[in-house]
Structure 1
Amino acid sequence: MARSQLAVQSSVEALAPELDLNAQLAKVVEVEEIFNNCFIPTDRASEYFRWLDESRILKQCGRVIGPRDVGKSRASRHYREEDRKKLSYVRAWSASSSKRLFSQILKDINHAAPTGKRVDLRPRLAGSLELFGIEQVIIDNAENLQREALLDLKQLFDECHVPVVLVGGQELDKILADFDLLTSFPTLYEFDRLEYDDFKKTLSTIEFDILALPEASNLSCSPIFEILAESTGARIGLLVKILTKAVLHSLKNGFGKVDPGILEKIASRYGRKYIPPENRNSNK
């Protein structure tokens, strides 16, 4: 995973060790903006891209299953951005119908008539995908699709042979099985959390290519590595959120790096359920 692969909008310059409040805030805003707009390459994502290439070339429908905050959505968007003219990527809304979904896809491929009745939209989309040179359709949050939408996607593939990839959590497989549609999206990519070595390399990429703080934080070494591994479960989405906050509080407290004590305090509270004071010592 070469550092040069990081898709960064602009470089981040290291600040002087003495940071005033405005400089601290500017640094945090810049780091947060880069986290939001860049793609952090991982071995997991590279493997996923190869799977998408194979599905696209072989014209096979499939599904991508994994827990929340592991980077499925960001990797899928990046894959589309790298080859924008050949792919369509949309995110399904809650209880999404065929009409709503197909209208989204038509808008995404810049069709001049993206709205209409359900009975008209599917044949319009089927006729447009090949005409527009679309080789693959990726639908994120696919567990939100209604049964009719999933059935229509199967029919869409039967008509135009453009493979459809569904992205979602474990519940997506249960939904497809309940509707007897699992074999309609047969190939599976398990988008899991980062492996140990991949997690360490990702932390190094973040430290040197994104944070670029005045002092070394040693994110991939003890004790910070253990804090981040335990608190994030090697999920890159949680990692980005916790580190952004840790940078802010570390700089505000006069540190030129991510302070382990501050990081541990933030990580111990992030994403945890509230426990009333009277219940906090109940298990002691």
Structure 2
Amino acid sequence: MSETNLVNANLEFQKSFDASLQPAEEVRRSPEVQAEVERIGKADTYFSLDRDTELFDWLDDQRDAKLCGYITSATGSGLLKACQLYRTQYVKRRGTLLEIPATVIYAEIEQHGTPTDLYCSILEEIGHPLTNVGTLRDLRSRVWGTLKGYSVKILIIGNADYLTLEAFNELIDIFMKLRLPIILVGTYYLGDNILERKSLRYVRVHDSFLESYEFPNLTKQEIIEVVDDWEETFLPKNRRLNLTQIDSAISYLEHKSKGLIEPLYDLLRKIAILKLDEPSFELNQHNLTRKFGRRKEPKIKSHRKG
């Protein structure tokens, strides 16, 4: 075999080998369908409901009365997105910076929730991320000065379950010195376990956050509203699923999501992709249960005491 023929043979073999390594979805789907699957997979939204308005009214009351407090909900309830929405009603951005005055600051905590993590999260939210953290004393001084300079009226801390005792105490000091109400946002574990700890070291934390609010799960009617909004937002009119017109499908979504908006959005993405792959699939509770039977329901633990 000549050198040219050998090169051509190697190229053909490589093409054949590369084709065998194509992802399974690219083999079974057309490029157009795969592009639509990718788009739906990235669908991210949040639909505001009456429960959000009620939460915002409570936050307004806390801000006006300069009272600290905490909000709890089940994981996946949408509470963190609701808090972000509340902030956008009061604060505008100019590029990466918040415009002054910034009445509401909402910062999310990441593990491990130390005072340094807390202060860095606040500065990042405002648009002043640090490249050199420095000492805790310097960091504290910068954050306090920034909060005063931006005329902040309420500070909301998401994922407050992650905070250490030292970080809780930093927040209490902010409230005591600046008269800036602090709102902790987390799961039921925050209220039932962290703030109720019997340790004497947590008495100051417990007594500083006496006001509470429980963010509710979705009712069946609210699930219907969310599903309608999601289909209208992400699906072309000629490919709407019309799930709200199928009572058994709504019953399935209610059961599998347990009234939590994030698991509900997860299910909507799965169902929309399923219909792309199997256009003749009949949407009803029986078929959906059979198709997604391995999916577990969220655990909605009893959190009430009594």
TM-score range, shorter-chain basis? 0.7 to 0.9
CA shift at 1:251, angstroms?
Answer: 1.0
Give the secondary-structure state (helix, strand or coil) at the position aligned to 2:238: coil
Letter in 2 for 1:115: V
Q: 1:255 to 1:86 in 2, by over 3 A?
A: farther
Q: CA deviation at 1:107?
A: 2.6
Give, as a single letter, the amino acid of the residue that structure 1 aligns with 2:164: Q
Q: Which AA in structure 1 matches 2:235? A: L
Q: Shift in Å at residue 211 of structure 1?
A: 2.9
In the superposition, relative to structure 1, how do residues 172 and 266 fare at CA in structure 2: closer, same or farther (>3 Å)?
A: farther
The counterpart of 1:240, out of the listed 237, 261, 265, is 265
1:80 maps to what in 2?
Answer: 87
Higher radius of gyration, 1 or 2: 2
Percent identity between the aligned chains?
A: 25
Indicate the residue corresponding to 1:95 in structure 2: 112
Q: Taking structure 1 as reference, are residues 272 and 59 closer, same or farther at Cα in structure 2, changes over 3 Å only?
A: closer
Which one scores higher on RCO, CA 8 angstroms, separation ≥ 6? Answer: 1
Cα displacement string for residues 256-279 of structure 1 (whole angstroms, at most 9, x for unaligned residues)? 986656533454322469xxxxxx
Paired position in structure 2 for 1:192? 216
Counterpart among 27, 32, 42 of residue 23 in structure 1: 32
Task: Give the Cα–Cα distance (whole angstroms) in 1 for the partners of residues 218 and 183 of structure 2.
Answer: 22
State the SS of the aligned residue for 1:269.
coil
> Which SS does the other structure have where 2:134 is aligned?
coil
Q: Distance in 2 between matches of 1:231 and 1:160?
A: 45
1:25-104 correspondence runs (5 A): 25-33=34-42, 35-36=43-44, 38-84=45-91, 85-104=102-121
Equivalent of 2:195 in 150, 153, 176: 176
Q: How many residues align?
A: 252
Kindly report the root-mean-square deviation, in angstroms, between the aligned alpha carbons of the 2 structures. 2.6
Show the counterpart of 1:222: 247
Unaligned runs of 5+ in 2: 1-28, 92-101, 299-306
What residue number does 2:94 align with? none
TM-superposed deviation, 1:87: 2.5
Is 2:248–2:284's contact at 8 Å kept on the other side of the alignment?
no
How big is each residue's C-alpha offset from its partner over 1:7-47, in whole Å with a ceiling of 9 and x where there is no partner?
Answer: xxxxxxxxxxxxx73333333333343x32x3312222222
Q: Are the structure 2 counterparts of residues 190 and 205 from structure 1 closer, same or farther at C-alpha, using a change threshold of 3 Å?
A: same
What secondary structure is seen at the aligned counterpart in 2 of 1:183? helix
Aligned CA distance change for structure 1 residues 24 and 171 (closer, same or farther; 3 Å): same
